[in-house]
């Protein structure tokens, strides 16, 4: 059911790789709620082709951009405002990748060049997007910027590797830039901390299936799906959440506030 929450709003949605991507679901719901937007992803993701299907469904133009390249991001924002016919109301950062995690490097044996790439792709890219938007004055007053994150920024999950550090930087950038953008144009900036979700990025984390089950059995509501995450992101893009900014918002069925559940106790007792 659609509510017209984004009627007349313009935006940029990054990170839709395939139909499992959280950004893919956000795009479908943003369309349903009346928004117009551009889609973006790394040039390499274009070659995989799926994003073109999404673009057709959403009647959206694709503007490729490597999120580590300021030049690409500048082009993304200037082209988006041109194509959409005005300044933006929302931006989704749904980008994450760690070469160390992907290649199975232990946290005690990191490759530091890859570590820098993890931070650049997964965290600095968020700053680069906002700095570009700020300089181009590309976002309307009361606009909304959202990035996706994971609770490993606050608590340790042994297999999350250097992505935990990247997420901590990402969440800090949301607070620091949220202050500046709030003062400048009343633009709000938040991160959504999502449950483990079976996507390309999620499944790349070692032991993902067990980790997913553990979270599902711990959270009183169970894990939040990508679809439910998209619903939440839409509310943050809407005018209903105008005074929410600089927050890290848990969207995890209560996992982050649960010590242990009866289900997990039972599993441990069985052993
Ligand atoms: N899946 C989970 O369990 C989970 C949980 C919490 C948070 N998140 C976060 O959600 C976000 C989206 O991930 P997802 O789970 O939908 O997986 P996904 O693999 O579908 O999306 C990750 C996206 O990042 C893009 N990307 C990677 N390098 C890039 C670059 N250099 N430039 C531009 N784009 C680049 C990929 O092409 C892909 O579209 C990520 O920030 C991820 O960390 C995921």
pLDDT at 45: 85
pLDDT at 92: 99
pLDDT at 161: 96
Measure 86 CA to ligand 1 centroid, in angstroms: 27
Domain residue limits, the chain: 10-270
pLDDT at 271: 59
Q: Is the CB of 161 under 6 A from ligand 1?
A: no
Q: Can 232 be counted among the known catalytic residues?
A: no
- State the pTM of this model: 0.98
Give the atom of ligand 1 at the shortest distance from the alpha carbon of 163: 43
Q: Is the CB of 43 under 6 A from ligand 1?
A: no
Measure 122 CA to ligand 1 centroid, in angstroms: 8
Q: What's domain 10-270's superfamily in CATH?
A: NAD(P)-binding Rossmann-like Domain (3.40.50.720)
Active-site entry in 107, 160, 184, 232: 160
Q: In this structure, which residue's CA is closest to atom 42 in ligand 1?
A: 96
Tokens of 246: 């600089």
SS3 content of the chain, % helix, strand, coil (to 5): 50, 15, 35
Q: Is the CB of 97 under 6 A from ligand 1?
A: yes
Measure 22 CA to ligand 1 centroid, in angstroms: 8
pLDDT at 206: 81
Q: Is the CB of 21 under 6 A from ligand 1?
A: yes
pLDDT at 246: 98
Ligand 1 mutation target, pool 20, 47, 159, 201, most atoms within 8 A of CB: 201
Question: For every one of its 271 residues, what pLDDT tens digit does the chain have, with 9 covering 90 and above?
Answer: 899 999 999 999 999 999 999 999 999 999 999 999 999 999 988 877 799 999 999 999 999 999 999 999 999 999 999 999 999 999 999 999 999 999 999 999 999 999 999 999 999 999 999 999 999 999 999 999 999 999 999 999 999 999 999 999 999 999 999 999 999 999 999 999 999 999 998 888 888 899 899 999 999 999 999 999 999 999 999 999 999 999 999 999 999 999 999 999 998 887 5
Q: Is the CB of 191 under 6 A from ligand 1?
A: no
> Residues 6 or more apart from 54 whose CB is under 8 A from it?
16, 19, 24, 27, 28, 39, 60
Measure 9 CA to ligand 1 centroid, in angstroms: 24
Q: Can 107 be counted among the known catalytic residues?
A: no
Q: Is the CB of 67 under 6 A from ligand 1?
A: yes
């Amino acid at each position: 059911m659609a509510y017209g929450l984004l009627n007349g709003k313009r935006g940029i949605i990054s990170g839709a790789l395939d139909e499992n991507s959280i950004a893919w679901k956000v795009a479908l719901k943003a369309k349903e709620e009346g928004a117009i937007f551009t889609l973006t992803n790394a040039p390499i993701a274009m070659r995989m082709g799926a994003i073109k299907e999404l673009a057709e469904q959403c009647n959206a133009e694709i503007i490729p951009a490597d999120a580590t390249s300021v030049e690409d991001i500048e082009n993304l924002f200037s082209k988006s405002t041109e194509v959409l016919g005005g300044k933006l109301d929302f931006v989704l950062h749904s980008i994450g990748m760690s070469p160390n995690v992907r290649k199975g490097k232990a946290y005690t044996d990191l490759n530091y060049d890859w570590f820098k790439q993890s931070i650049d792709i997964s965290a600095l890219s968020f700053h680069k997007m906002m700095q570009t938007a700020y300089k181009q004055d590309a976002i309307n007053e009361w606009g909304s910027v959202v990035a996706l994150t994971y609770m490993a920024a606050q608590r340790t999950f042994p297999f999350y590797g250097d992505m935990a550090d990247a997420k901590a930087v990402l969440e800090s950038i949301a607070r620091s830039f949220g202050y500046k953008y709030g003062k400048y144009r009343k633009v709000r900036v938040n991160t959504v901390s999502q449950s483990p979700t079976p996507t390309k990025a999620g499944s790349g984390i070692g032991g993902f299936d067990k980790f997913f089950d553990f979270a599902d059995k711990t959270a009183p509501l169970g894990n939040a799906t990508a679809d439910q995450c998209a619903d939440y992101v839409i509310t943050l893009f809407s005018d209903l959440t105008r005074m929410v900014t600089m927050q890290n918002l848990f969207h995890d069925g209560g996992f982050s506030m649960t010590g242990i559940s009866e289900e997990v106790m039972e599993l441990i007792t069985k052993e």
